[in-house]
Amino acid sequence: MTTNTLVAKIWSFCDTLRDDGLGYGDYLEQLTYMLFLKMADENKDTYILPKACNWKELLVLEKGDLLSKYEFVLKTLAESGGMLTKIFVGAKNKINDSAKLEKLIKLIDAENWTSKDVDIKGEIYESLLQKNAENSGAGQYFTPRPVIAAMVKCTQPKPNETISDPSCGTGGFFLGTINYLNQFKLTESQKRFLKFEAFHGWEIEKSTARLCLMNLFLHGIGDLKETPDIEVTDSLKAGVKKKVDLVLANPPFGISSSDIPTPDKKQAEKEGYFLRADFWVSTSNKQLAFLQHIVAMLNETGRAAVVLPDNVLFEGGAGETIRKKLLEETSLHTILRLPTGIFYAQGVKANVLFFEKKPKTDNPATKEIWFYDYRTNIRHTPKKNPLRSEHLKDFVECYKPNNIGSRTETWSKNNENGRWKKFTYDELISRDKTNLDIFWLKDNNLIDLDNLPEPDALIDEIIENIQSALESFKTIKGNLELNL
């Protein structure tokens, strides 16, 4: 059975459970528990569970006993310590119809999950996570996998490097890193480092952190005794305890109306603020706060690739201060302008910022920024025309991960449609508010009346523009409240 067929088969059962009030996220969580139990049963030598947690028993129990037994299994696993506790803490059965619970268990049992290699199991689980993003309000947090793949290829994670994500969600960036590193022949020492020490993540939602741990487990990270370092907490408040080599992240979009980070000790004493002495400036804008946090996370030669919305590139006040500091203290060498329509939430206009930490000197660390415009005259939708890895192939080739010093512009006076263009530090710093929201390509949709997009595409674009405007107004309101 192909991955897509298996995903469709398992996911279709969710519609049955929705009649009982079970949401997509709840269904995915129950699948998490059952996949774990089934895999443990298939490979008893690797996954040694408490004797009471026997998958086979769930298959033969009478309906009346099935609900109580399943709940007992979840409770036992939550109290077993190690990765078991991390995954199952607070776990509860939300399928109260014993007949439907039995049907789902048999559906899972019909497949031999460990007969497939780790990548296939992980791919199936990733597909389920994507289905959840498509069909729920969590879509804005799901980073398109082609974007992750391009970010990983450009930053080139190395064996024995520490990789962090301060808002790791379900672990997409970690998975991208694993897939990249598995292309190479790793030593046993490097394999162990990847399995237990490479990844450090923070996720504020317990249920999402649970999915992240299970996702990593399905991809061979951690075991029943040692777990990857995934903390359930607000990473902004947690601060920086250990510097890392690489940060890959897509911080949550939106305005924080309370608990504002500030480098000012006196302001930190006020209600609604907390001290971050390693920040450049106070801000209620989550993305600007996370950008400062990510810079603080990097070691002396650390590097980062971060998905950030447009307002980070042009917002005044704290935004301008942060951009200037970013240009001074890091080499912000590349910005990828992402197209609209690639996120499941409408109105998201985002970019990927690539930068490296540099030793402090009297001169700014950024010499020039290379921009790749994969937005102008590009249209994608999550379902009808989804972004695929080949769409970003040209960007990766232009980026030249192996030798960024050999880059060549594709834009010129003779080729004004070139999407790859550089701007010097002097050009950037002279722009009003150090505005980095730069574009130069002619938007054909604005002038080509004979070749207008289809009506549904126009409606989608109108919705995106309205949503984007609303987010901008929320940002302005948040800044006004901060300054009151």
What angle, rounded to 10 degrees, do the helices at 63-78 and 98-109 form? 70
Say how far apart CA 437 and CA 398 lie, in whole Å: 20
Give the pLDDT band of residue 166 (cuts 50, 70, 90). Answer: very high
Say how far apart CA 93 and CA 72 lie, in whole Å: 10
Cβ 242 vs Cβ 195: under 8 Å: no
Stretch(es) of the chain classified as CATH 3.40.50.150: 136-483
Say how far apart CA 285 and CA 291 lie, in whole Å: 10
41-55, 123-137, 146-160, 358-372: lowest mean pLDDT where?
123-137
Give the pLDDT band of residue 186 (cuts 50, 70, 90). Answer: very high
pLDDT score of 139: 43
3 state SS for the chain = CCHHHHHHHHHHHHHHHHCCCCCHHHHHHHHHHHHHHHHHHHCCCCCCCCCCCCHHHHHHCCHHHHHHHHHHHHHHHHCCCHHHHHHHCCCCCCCCCHHHHHHHHHHHHCCCHHHCCHHHHHHHHHHHHHHHHHCCHHHHHCCCHHHHHHHHHHHCCCCCCCEEECCCCCCHHHHHHHHHHCCCCCCHHHHHHHHHCCEEEECCCHHHHHHHHHHHHHCCCCCCCCCCEEECCCHHHHCCCCCEEEEEECCCCCECCCCEEECCHHHHCCCCEEECCCCCCCCCEHHHHHHHHHHHHEEEEEEEEEEEECHHHHCCCHHHHHHHHHHHHEEEEEEEECCCCCCCCCCCCEEEEEEEECCCCCCCCCCEEEEEECCCCCCCECCCECCCHHHHHHHHHHHCCCCHHHCCCCCECCECCCCEEEEEHHHHHCCHHHCCCCCCCCCHHHCCHHHCCCHHHHHHHHHHHHHHHHHHHHHHHHHHHHHC
Highest mean pLDDT among 26-40, 107-121, 453-467: 26-40
Q: In the Cβ-directed half-sphere of 46, how many Cα atoms lie within 13 Å?
A: 14
Say how far apart CA 46 and CA 55 lie, in whole Å: 15
Q: For residue 104, what are its two tokens? A: 């789902």
One-letter identity of residue 141? Y
Is pLDDT of 347 > 90?
no
220-229, 358-367, 371-380, 463-472: lowest mean pLDDT where?
463-472
120-146 pLDDT per residue, tens: 455 566 666 666 666 655 444 578 889
pLDDT score of 76: 93
Is pLDDT of 172 > 50?
yes
Say how far apart CA 158 and CA 49 lie, in whole Å: 34
Architecture of domain 136-483 in this structure? 3-Layer(aba) Sandwich (3.40)
Who has greater pLDDT, 138 or 190? Answer: 190
Mean pLDDT of 29-58: 82
Decide which of 3.20.20.240, 3.20.20.70, 1.10.357.10, 1.20.1260.30 is the CATH code for 3-116.
Answer: 1.20.1260.30
pLDDT score of 451: 42
Cβ 353 vs Cβ 362: under 8 Å: no
Distances (CA, A) of 321 to 84, 281, 290, 349, 377: 45, 7, 14, 22, 32
196-252 pLDDT per residue, tens: 999 999 998 887 888 788 778 878 888 777 788 899 999 999 999 999 999 999 998
Mean pLDDT of 18-29: 76
Stretch(es) of the chain classified as CATH 1.20.1260.30: 3-116
384-400 pLDDT per residue, tens: 888 999 999 999 999 99
- Sheet with 330-337: list strands edge to edge: 229-231, 199-202, 163-165, 244-249, 298-309, 350-357, 330-337, 368-373, 420-424
Give the pLDDT band of residue 311 (cuts 50, 70, 90). Answer: very high
